[in-house]
Amino acid sequence: MSSKLQSTVPKAKDHQPSAEESLPAPKANAEAIHFLSTLEQEELQMLLFSETLAMVSDTGEPQGELTIEVQRRQNKDEFGVMSHCLFVQAFSRG
pLDDT bracket for residue 1 (50, 70, 90): very low
pLDDT bracket for residue 14 (50, 70, 90): low
- Average pLDDT of 4-27? 58
The DSSP 8-state label assigned to residue 18 in this structure reads P
Does 15 or 23 have the greater pLDDT score? 23
Coil/strand/helix, residue 55? strand
Which residues sit opposite 85 in a β-bridge?
73
65 and 89 in contact (C-beta within 8 Å)? no
83 and 77 in contact (C-beta within 8 Å)? yes
Measured CA distances, 26 to 34, 39, 44, 75, 85 (Å): 16, 21, 20, 12, 11
pLDDT tens for 23-66 read: 787 788 999 889 988 989 899 889 899 999 999 999 999 999 99
Closest C-alpha among 70, 15, 26, 8 to residue 45: 70
- Average pLDDT of 4-23? 54
CB atoms within 10 A of CB 63: 11
